[in-house]
Structure 1
């Protein structure tokens, strides 16, 4: 079965080929097709017949092949007529936007990280507000969004609908636009506009817009590959968000002197329980080692080499990102994951300066570690939550910064300490390749996002320019 001319996979056309089967063979490695526009080919066998689908890019082919393998691993039945597993067949036969979203989330769910599930459903829920009809009795944006998120969660399939979601779900089922409506210019413009705002109409941050658009684009590309849409309408629509994409605002970057003022945390919260003091080392690690908060939360004592003198090092092997309980398999808010954008069990080694070695040793001596060896925990010994360290950070800013600095975006979030670390290393003359290696980024991402100037460096730069100009005048 070949679909080089017909993008919908599995059009067999063999007389009598119908029904479903588990007689499936694992797909071959991605091959080369004769088509110049769709040169990447996925081939697999269903009921003794070879199925072939071609794609425009290797990434699309690899994603489709991965979905097939996951369906085989789950033991799904495959449709003999189309060659598709049951879950993917639901996507291919969906007609309304809402039906498509339910089927698409079902395909993407298994094996996806909790953060990925959150991102996918957030993107689709946001677009859904523009993909349902208006009407006098239309539920609020909030009601529609909550009903949508409940309905697309695979665990809720077949469950009784809670009363609070009944009205919103009925509207989604009866008033959802057709999936093909995305191809209409006025509809895709409304979709693009919805991606740029919150439920209350306020403009979202650039990163939020980009994340939502990526999530929508992935779903739309999937619909195109399955033949539900003839082409991707997002290409023609263009981007509507005007802010610069992906760049760190230099105004958020803290200086080394300001970082030392983290000692103000010693006065935050109850002194007896040490809420502020126990976070001094946490924030210092974000700054001196350039860690992401989720990496720092997962840091254990045996991940640390803390010598009596000189530089130490951290060996990072896992993260504990926080998300909603609805997106994790075990119902917990933190999900144990490997390092971001790295193979499972991969490690990243980060050298740390003597000052941080001293801070970490003092922290361990005063507060010990959690039962599993984690350095940082909440006051009850559990996993350190984002809300806990974010509140402490805001209180610390109140103590450490001047009124003018408080009004500015300077170090507005704990994550900005990572921005400061990477900017400091770059401004110190460390090569982008070495900085990227320590930070766990690609060089491309590093140069795009983390090359912000340190606060207070403008005078230094101006003096350098002034000296150069004076030298040229003397000559």
Structure 2
């Protein structure tokens, strides 16, 4: 039990003892003592206890130790805590988030060690942590278990995990700024020592912060030590450079050029059209069902985006398949998003269905040999189509560099056409705040027109009797 009832007595000397100088103190009803060979040692310990008392630390009645020392004594290692954190998070997060957690912890954990004597290679240790220590698998009863508890790792992996088990610092050591800074520095660098991309750093930092918050939750730390560090994550310029977003004509040319890459690519024309005309994310378009399409003979149609399917790897999914199907990004699992589509895209989808049919599960878009569309597959086709559509000077720029550019082009077209920002955000699956952060430049381009509309309305109001 912890108490503030502490009384520290003076040091007494006992002749004829190997350790003649005895320090005694009382915590609650319990008396404690410790003997020292030298008086200066006893005095030093006395000062430590008095400092804890002045800092208003409670003392433990059983051990007689201040709370901070008791925490350090009982603190697990960072490596053990990181494994506990993974086990806690795993069942409730997406496959992509699981992989990100494992990657972030595998980056920071090797730096939080007592020393590096006998350390395995960086690659071996990262692999051991990422693929074994921070990964769960299902047992025969379909329950999540730590992989290293169910499978026998290769010898070099086992040695690496044994080393980190012995060398890992305690969780309480992270309350020391110099230790925590080493972890932050690791998150800021690639394996080769060069600076990591700002987006990568900003993706990994929350994992470290959340793991530290979990330590507070488990009473392994009193506060999140990150709040004590004067450190700022690298700034990310989210605003899109519209010099490199394709306009309507170029976007259509690249989409049409995709169909000219042979049998391996023709089926992707409508897929790219979905990214442009409906501003769907690639993972959303890959999940589009025929049942969620309204495709009239004439006029505008509608598609309903309901899922997002991304290839993560079988190691991270619930099903053991390489694809993870989730709800829409930053939406409730069963949320949907309806997007009106223009007649040109309605016709494109009708032609696609007539030529390629639909998948057994109702999906419109499949890979050339069936199955889910691969990022590598549509990325290569987009690059080839871009090379056909762009002149040589523009090929050397980031103009329409990736297939995702088609989505940016579609959203930009809506804004330029005068669609209200709230409606653009709804169709694109953004919040208003995110829309303004990414598309602020093109939104600001409409300020003169908006000001003119407001001025016209004010003039009419003044002239109305």
With normalisation by structure 2, the TM-score equals 0.73
Query: Is the partner of 1:123 in helix, strand or coil?
Result: helix
- Partner-residue secondary structure (3-state), 1:363: helix
User: What are the Cα deviations for residues 82-139 of structure 1, in whole angstroms up to 9, with x where unaligned?
Assistant: xxxxxxxxxxx76111101111111111132111211222221221132234535322
Match of 1:166 among 135, 158, 161: 158
Are 2:201 and 1:209 aligned? yes
Residue 351 of structure 1 aligns with which residue?
A: 340
Once residues 278 and 182 of structure 2 are traced to their aligned partners in structure 1, the CA distance between those partners, rounded to angstroms, is 43
Match of 1:122 in 2: 103
**Contact 2:265–2:368, Cα closer than 8 Å, also in 1:** no
- Alpha-carbon separation, structure 2, partners of 1:212 and 1:283: 31
For residue 192 of structure 2, what is the aligned residue in structure 1? 200
Is 1:410 the counterpart of 2:399 in the alignment?
A: yes
Residue 269 (structure 2) aligns with: 280
Shift of 1:306: 1.0
Name which of structure 1's ranges 156-165 and 320-329 shifts more when overlaid on structure 2.
Answer: 156-165
Give, in whole Å, the separation in 2 of the partners of 1:406 and 1:179. 51
Q: Pairwise mapping of residues 420-431 of structure 1 onto structure 2 (< 5 A)?
A: 420-431=409-420
More off after superposition, 213-222 vs 194-203: 194-203
C-alpha distance 417-235 of structure 1, shift in aligned 2 (>3 A): farther
Whose radius of gyration is greater, 1 or 2?
2
Q: Which residue of 2 aligns with 1:139?
A: 120
**Aligned mates of 2:75, 2:330 — CA distance in 1:** 32
- 1:335 partner SS: strand
What are the equivalent positions in structure 2 for 1:19-418 lying under 5 Å apart?
A: 95-149=76-130, 150-155=132-137, 156-158=147-149, 159-262=151-254, 263-268=256-261, 271=262, 274-418=263-407
Distance 1:134 1:364 in 2: 62
Distance 1:231 1:404, change over 3 A: farther
TM-aligned CA deviation for residue 350 of structure 1 = 0.7
Using the TM superposition, give the Cα deviation of residue 384 of structure 1 relative to its aligned residue in structure 2, in angstroms. 0.9
Change (3 A) 1:446 1:139: same
How big is each residue's C-alpha offset from its partner over 1:352-379, in whole Å with a ceiling of 9 and x where there is no partner?
1111112111111111111112111112
1:333 Cα offset (Å): 1.1
Q: Which string of whole-angstrom CA distances, capped at 9 and with x for unpartnered residues, describes residues 427-459 of structure 1?
A: 3222221111111121112211244549xx99x
Is the 8 Å Cα contact of residues 426 and 451 (structure 1) preserved in structure 2? no
Task: Give the Å deviation of 1:293.
Answer: 0.8
Bigger drift between 124-133 and 332-341 goes to 124-133
- Residue by residue, what CA displacement relative to the aligned partner does 1:366-417 show, whole Å, maximum 9, x if unpaired? 1111111211111221111112111222222222223332222222222232
Q: Aligned pair in 2 of structure 1 residues 234, 402: CA closer, same or farther (>3 Å)?
A: farther
Change (3 A) 1:378 1:433: same
Q: In structure 2, do the counterparts of structure 1 residues 204 and 401 end up closer, same or farther at CA, with 3 Å as the change threshold?
A: farther
Describe the shift of the 1:232–1:416 C-alpha distance in structure 2 as closer, same or farther (beyond 3 A).
farther
Gaps of 5+ in 1: 1-92, 463-475
- Following superposition, the deviation at residue 327 of structure 1 comes to 0.5
Q: Distance in 2 between matches of 1:186 and 1:252?
A: 43
Query: Could you say if the C-alpha distance between residues 252 and 322 of structure 1 is closer, same or farther in structure 2, counting changes exceeding 3 Å?
Result: farther
Q: CA RMSD in A?
A: 2.6
**TM-superposed deviation, 1:210:** 1.2
CA distance in 2, matches of 1:295, 1:94: 44
- 8 Å Cα contact 1:105-1:153 kept in structure 2: yes
CA distance in 2, matches of 1:95, 1:289: 51
Q: Secondary structure at the match of 1:110?
A: helix
CA distance in 2, matches of 1:370, 1:236: 54
**1:123 touches 1:212 (CA, 8 Å); kept in 2?**
yes
2:310 is paired with a residue whose SS is: coil
Q: Determine the C-alpha separation between the residues in 1 that align with 2:399 and 2:338.
A: 29
* TM-score normalised over the length of structure 1: 0.71
Deviation at 1:241, TM superposition (A): 4.2
State the alpha-carbon separation in 2 of the partners of residues 246 and 237 from structure 1: 25
Single out whichever of 307-316 and 119-128 deviates more from structure 2. 119-128
Q: After TM superposition, where is structure 1 displaced by more than 6 Å over at least 4 residues in a row? A: none
1:419–1:450 Cα contact (<8 Å) kept: no
Q: Does the CA-based 8 Å contact 1:289-1:351 persist in structure 2?
A: yes
- State the SS of the aligned residue for 1:298: coil
The answer (yes or no) to whether the contact 1:278–1:363 under 8 Å persists in 2 is yes
Supply the distance in 1 between the matched residues of 2:181 and 2:395 (Cα, whole angstroms): 38
